[in-house]
Amino acid sequence: MKFSTKTTYGIRAMTSLARTYRKGSLSLATIAKEQNISLSYLERIFSSLKKAGLVKAEVGASGGYTLSRCARNITALEIVEALEGQVSPFKCIHKHGEVKCRAGKYCEVPKVLIKVQDAVVSTLSKINLSDLIK
C-alpha cells in the first residue's frame, strides 16, 4: 500500500502547524518554503484539510492557517482520510469489510486483506499528530 504525495505532503504540512500551535497562524507560503512543497499544490491540500475540519484559516495581514484543535487530538487516520478518502488499500474491500469482487464468496483472499486493512486503520488511529513532532 502506498500513500500519495498529497498525503505525505499533508502530514508534513500538518506537523509544521503542530509545532507552532498556540503561537499564531502560518501562511501557506511559509509552510511551502519550510517543507519544500509547491505553493499551488499546498493550496489544494489545505482545501481538503479545511473541508475536513482539521485546519482553520485566519484572514488578515497576519493571517494563515492553524490547527482546528490541539495536535494530540488529531490522528494520522483523520489526515489520511481527509486527503485520500476512506482507507481501503484493496480494491475488492469496501466500507466495513464488504467484499466486492467477481470471485465473490469463493475467494478466501479477503479474509487476509480485511485483517491487513483493519491493522492499518487501527495503527493510523493510534498515531496523534503530536506524536510526529516529538
pLDDT band at residue 114 under the 50/70/90 scheme: confident
Domain that holds residue 26: 5-133
Within 10 A of 21 (CB to CB), how many other CB atoms are there?
A: 17
How many domains is the chain partitioned into structurally?
1
With contact defined as beta carbons under 8 Å apart, do 72 and 130 qualify? yes
pTM of the model: 0.86
Q: Is the pLDDT of residue 100 over 90?
A: no
- Which domain CATH number covers 23? 1.10.10.10
What mean pLDDT do residues 16-41 have? 94
Of residues 90 and 95, the one with the higher pLDDT is: 90
